Structure 1
Amino acid sequence: MIDECLVTEFRIDGDDCPLARATEQVPVAIDASAPQLRADGNVLLHFSSPPDDRLPAVLDDDENIRYLHVTRTDEAYTYRCLSKHPCVVHELVDVGFLVESMQYNNGGATMRGAVVGNDVLRGVMEKAGQTVGIRLQRVYPLRADEESAIGRAWNLTPAQEESLHVAYEMGYFELPRSITADDVADELEISKSAFLERLRRAQQSLFGTLFG
């Protein structure tokens, strides 16, 4: 039995994925669920972004995107579609990467998940390095309390939980407030609008759980 499970975060550039290409044209952050690879090689995608009508237009024009459906609210646009272009994440899954969250921005993707042991981590890095540019941003052992705790108890995504944690640690919720949303967004390496959208969604989940 292998005792060590590592939480990992990668930054990938050079993957010719429709979502990565779209963020080159439209400066938004796309938060995506793990893509589902079908037996025919096509991929089911489910993702969201801050409101911006340019993004659905760009995706609709992409020949690799089919059956695009967009749900629009004032706070976010939620997308479901089929992609004819498998991205590198499927190759990483094949060698042992357990995907938890993905975010596309500036033409690349940040992927967070877990690997079981350093040998698997090396295999994931080697596999990705064969096709795209990859940078390991963070790696740390999975704690015994990590799989239960805050995110699942309050119905938060990993990206929302991270944003709340970083904002709290930096003093964003203090009175008087000592830092700005721009400061937190810079620390998270996302746009201000993406941070505020995560914050609003996290608050909605928290209040929904509290007040039923």
Structure 2
Amino acid sequence: MTSGFRAELRIREPPSCQVAAATESAGDAAAVTWGGDGATVTEEVTLPSDADPDGMEEVFSDGDRSVYRFDRPADQACVCEVIEQHGAPIRDVRGEDGRLHVTFHVEDVATLRELVGQLRETTGGVSLERLTQSATAGGDRNLVLVDRAALTDRQREVLETAHELGYFARPKGANATEVADALGISRSTFAEHLAAAQSKLLDAVLDGDG
């Protein structure tokens, strides 16, 4: 079996995304679907029944949740379509507090890195929330799971800032003091957060019983 990956990205401030915008006031969104005729894309999203999102029409309700529909130009920027252009069909989309969580399958890390880089050019921020790698048939484990949900918000911020500044690069783009200054914390506090985050990630990767 060919090894591949399942990735979940958290995308902050996706441009021109009515689904993400609706979640800022209407509540969490789920079951996002779309299709079109080439010029127009029709999207449907499930929201709380009392959401009344701007620019959307309610087309179905089961009492607590309703399906809302809206149209947008096909050439309007869409993060999901950017992902699919890299040969990674979307598996699931949900939204909360103005952010999108998008899950998809991708063949290799190089493709994932390329599409994340493209998204970061136009969005407020992209974070890898979860990455699951499939293993070859007959291996001891079928999945190797790295779950960023195990990290606190502060630990994520420390890792992301350190990575963005090149702390993990060789040669280093920034030292511990420079990363700590960027975070507004002391070097010792940075070291504590970094050690705790790395320990959690290593536990997830090396735990053979998980």
Same-fold status (TM-score > 0.5): yes
2:42 aligns to what? 44
**Aligned counterparts of 2:18 and 2:115: Cα–Cα separation in 1:** 22
Q: What are the Cα deviations for residues 41-66 of structure 1, in whole angstroms up to 9, with x where unaligned?
A: x32212212322xx22x323xxxx5x
Look up the match of 2:202: none
* Higher-RCO chain (CA-CA 8 Å, sequence separation at least 6): 1
Within-5 A mapping of 1:1-212? 3-16=2-15, 17-26=17-26, 28-40=27-39, 42-52=40-50, 55-56=51-52, 58-60=53-55, 68-84=57-73, 85-132=76-123, 133-142=125-134
Task: Return the offset for 1:34.
Answer: 4.0
1:10 match: secondary structure: strand
Equivalenced residue count is 133
Contact 1:11–1:134, Cα closer than 8 Å, also in 2: yes
TM-score (norm 1): 0.56
AA partner of residue 131 (structure 2): V
- 2:45 aligned counterpart, secondary structure: strand
The alpha-carbon distance between structure 1 residues 99 and 34, as it changes in their structure 2 partners (threshold 3 A), is farther
What SS does the corresponding residue of 1:9 show, helix, strand or coil?
strand
Contact 2:58 2:66 in 1 (8 A): no
Structure 1 gaps, min length 5: 146-212
Q: Provide the rounded CA distance (Å) in 2 between the counterparts of 1:86 and 1:38.
A: 16
Q: Which amino acid aligns with 2:34?
A: P
Distance 2:36 2:77 in 1: 8
1:3-50 superposed Cα distances (whole Å, 9 cap, x missing partner)? 221000000012131111111222x1111334335411x322122123
Q: Quick one: which amino acid aligns to residue 45 of structure 1?
A: E
**Structure 2 length-normalised TM:** 0.56
Give me the whole-angstrom Cα distance separating, in 1, the residues matched to 2:4 and 2:23.
Answer: 32
Structure 2 CA distance for partners of 1:144 and 1:83, relative to 1, 3 Å: farther
Alignment RMSD = 2.3
One-letter code aligned to 2:10: R
Tell me which stretches of 4 or more aligned residues in structure 1 moved more than 3 Å.
142-145
Task: Name the SS for the 1:77 alignment partner.
Answer: strand
Paired with 1:43 and 1:114, the residues of 2 have a C-alpha distance of 23
Shift of the 126–38 alpha-carbon distance from structure 1 to 2, 3 Å rule, reads: farther
- 8 Å CA contact 1:70–1:78 kept in 2: the answer is yes
Q: Distance in 2 between matches of 1:48 and 1:73?
A: 11
